[in-house]
Amino acid sequence: MIAHELPSSPPLSTGPSLPRLLSALDEQSGGATSLSAHRRTYPPPTPARRQPAESYIAAVEKAGLRGRGGAGFPTGRKLRTVSEGQGRRVVVVNGSEGEPASAKDGLLLTRAPHLVLDGALLAAAAIAAREVFVGIERGKVAALRAIHHAIAERVHAHEPMVPVRVVELPERYLSGEESALVHLINGGEAKPTSTPPRPYQRGVGGGPTLIDNVETLCHLAQIVQWGPAWFRSQGTVEEPGTMLLTLSGAVGRRGVCEIPIGMSLATILSSSRPNAGGISAVLLGGYYGTWLSVADARVATMDNATLRRMGSGLGCGAVIALPPHACALSETARVLTWLAGQTAGQCGPCVHGLAAIAGGMRELAAGTASLRTLESLHRWGDQVEGRGACSFPDGAVRLLRSALKVFNNDVARHISHGPCSAAAHQPVLPIPSANVVSWR
Ligand code: SF4
C-alpha cells in the first residue's frame, strides 16, 4: 500500500496545504513517526498554550468537521452533546476498519500514531473524559505495535495524558459498529446492541461516550493546531477539509491518497493512471457503498451533497475501479456473500434476508436465475431494509440495488443468455480469506 498525493493547491502560510494528514507520515523512515519528530510540527499543549476545553469544541464546530467513518455526522455537535452528558465520560478511537477495500485508518495508526493520539487526547480534554480507548482489529499487527509504542514514548517523555488503553477487536465487519464496540469494551461480545440509548448517551461503563474514527480525530488535532479558517480553506462550504481515499482496482496508483472534498472523481481516476483497458464502473464507499456507471463517475464530485443526489455517498472513502474484463455481477455476488457471513446473527431479516439476497445474486452471476429471481431480489431488499437492530443489512441492500440498476443490461443478458465470459476471470474485489467466528 502506498501513500501519495493528488493535484494540490497553492501553499498557505499556516498549516500544510495538501497533503494535510499524510504530511504527518515520516516518508524517510517509512515507519511510524517518532514522538520527537511529531512534536516538531505538533507541539504539546503546554500550560502557556493550553486552552479551555470549550474553545476546542467551538473550533471544531466552526471548522464544520464531519466524521470520516461513513456516517458524516458533525463532529462538533457530537463533542458538545457528550460534554453535556452526565457521568464518567470516555473517548473511544474507532480503528476497526473492517471494510476490506479501505486502508486509510490503518495507515494513520501505523505511520502517524501520534497524530491519532493527539486527536484522541484533545477530544478527551474537550469533553473532560477520564479515559481513552483505542480499538484496533487484532489482525492489524503493525497498527497495534505502532500505537502501543507511541503510548510508551509519551509515558517515557512524561507527557501529561489521561490513561489510554488499547483494545483488540475481533476481525469482523461489525466490530466497528458503535454499539458493538461499546459492548466489547464493557466485557461483552462485539455485536451490536439494540439502541437507544446511543453510546453518546450511555456507553462505556454507562457513561457518555464519544466514538470517532481515526481519520476524524486526526483532522480534529489539525483543527486545534491551525484553526477552523485553515481547515475550511479546502473542501466545500458544506463539507470542508480534505479526506483520505483508498484507491484500488484497475488503476496504476493504488493506495491511500488525500483530496480536497468536492474534487472531481474523473480527475482522481485519471491521476491514478487507469489501466490501458479503461474501467467499466466504480464502486464508491466500499462494500457498504454503491456502484457508479462510467457516465456518472465522469460527472461526480467527491462530496456527499452531490453524491447523494446520484444515490451514492462517500462512505469510508474506498474507491474501486472495475476493469472491463471483470463480471460486475460476480463481484457483487462475492461481496454480498461475504457480507451475509458477517451478520451478527441476532435479527431474522438480517440473517435470512442477506443469505437469500446473496444466493439470488450468485444465481444471477452464474446465469441460472430467472426473471422471478430478479423480482425476489427486489422484494427481499425491501423486506430487509430498516428491519435490523442496526443498519448493517441496509448497506448490503444499498449495494444490491445499485448493482441491479447500474448493471441492468448485464442482468438481462445473464438471465437470457447465461453467464458472461468475464465470470471466468480472476475476481477483483478483495475478500478476507475466511470468516473469523470469534466475537470477542
Ligand atoms: S441487523 Fe444484523 S448485524 Fe445488526 S444486530 Fe441485527 S443481526 Fe446483528
Measured in Å, residue 172 CA sits from the centre of ligand 1 at 13
- Give SS3 for 62: helix
With beta carbons less than 8 A apart as the criterion, state whether 235 and 260 touch.
Answer: yes
Nine-digit cell at 260? 480536497
Q: How many CB atoms lie within 10 A of CB 382?
A: 12
Residue 65 has pLDDT above 80, yes or no: yes
**Mutate which of 357, 392, 394, 439 for ligand 1 pocket (most atoms within 8 A of beta carbon):** 392
DSSP state of 323: P
Whether 260 and 388 map to the same domain: the answer is no
Among candidate residues 298, 322, 346, the one where a domain is terminated: 322
Does 346 contact ligand 1 (Cβ within 6 A)? yes
Whether 44 and 163 map to the same domain: the answer is yes
| Least confident interval from 50-54, 147-151, 367-371 | 50-54
Does 42 contact ligand 1 (Cβ within 6 A)? no
Question: How far apart are alpha carbons 440 and 169 in whole angstroms?
Answer: 7
Whether 217 is covered by a domain: the verdict is yes
With beta carbons less than 8 A apart as the criterion, state whether 176 and 136 touch.
Answer: no
Q: How many CB atoms lie within 10 A of CB 98?
A: 22
With beta carbons less than 8 A apart as the criterion, state whether 85 and 207 touch.
Answer: yes
Residue 36 has pLDDT above 60, yes or no: yes
With beta carbons less than 8 A apart as the criterion, state whether 320 and 428 touch.
Answer: yes
Number of domains in the chain: 3
Whether 318 and 340 map to the same domain: the answer is no
pLDDT tens readout for residues 144-171: 999 999 999 999 999 989 999 999 999 9
Whether 69 and 144 map to the same domain: the answer is yes
pLDDT tens readout for residues 177-229: 999 999 999 999 999 987 788 899 999 999 999 999 999 999 999 999 999 99
Measured in Å, residue 325 CA sits from the centre of ligand 1 at 35
Does 393 contact ligand 1 (Cβ within 6 A)? yes
Whether 191 and 210 map to the same domain: the answer is yes
Whether 171 is covered by a domain: the verdict is yes
Residue 52 has pLDDT above 80, yes or no: no
Whether 392 is covered by a domain: the verdict is yes
Measured in Å, residue 347 CA sits from the centre of ligand 1 at 5
Residue 331 has pLDDT above 70, yes or no: yes
**Mutate which of 174, 179, 352 for ligand 1 pocket (most atoms within 8 A of beta carbon):** 174
Whether 87 is covered by a domain: the verdict is yes
* Domain span including residue 361: 328-424
Whether 278 and 354 map to the same domain: the answer is no
Place of cell 485508518: 105
Q: Which atom of ligand 1 is nearest to the CA of 192?
A: 5
Q: Which of 128, 123, 108, 114 is nearest to 157 (CA)?
A: 114
Whether 174 is covered by a domain: the verdict is yes
| Least confident interval from 54-58, 243-247, 421-425 | 421-425
Measured in Å, residue 350 CA sits from the centre of ligand 1 at 6
Among candidate residues 284, 307, 322, the one where a domain is terminated: 322
Whether 317 and 332 map to the same domain: the answer is no
Whether 34 is covered by a domain: the verdict is yes
- Give SS3 for 4: strand
Question: How far apart are alpha carbons 109 and 295 in whole angstroms?
Answer: 36
Among candidate residues 214, 232, 250, the one where a domain is terminated: 232
Whether 392 and 261 map to the same domain: the answer is no
Does 354 contact ligand 1 (Cβ within 6 A)? no
Whether 157 and 32 map to the same domain: the answer is yes
Whether 208 and 339 map to the same domain: the answer is no
| Least confident interval from 58-72, 185-199, 418-432 | 418-432
pLDDT tens readout for residues 275-312: 888 899 999 999 989 999 999 999 999 999 999 999 99
CATH code, domain with 90: 3.40.50.11540
Give the pTM.
0.93
CATH code, domain with 371: 1.20.1440.230
Q: Which atom of ligand 1 is nearest to the CA of 194?
A: 5
Does 396 contact ligand 1 (Cβ within 6 A)? no
CATH code, domain with 289: 3.10.20.600
pLDDT band at 46 (very low <50, low <70, confident <90, very high): low
Q: Which atom of ligand 1 is nearest to the CA of 388?
A: 1
Question: How far apart are alpha carbons 352 and 265 in whole angstroms?
Answer: 36
pLDDT for res 4: 45
Whether 74 and 173 map to the same domain: the answer is yes
Whether 56 and 29 map to the same domain: the answer is yes
Residue type at position 227? G
pLDDT for res 276: 83
The protein residue with its alpha carbon nearest to ligand 1, atom 4, reads: 390
Does 353 contact ligand 1 (Cβ within 6 A)? no
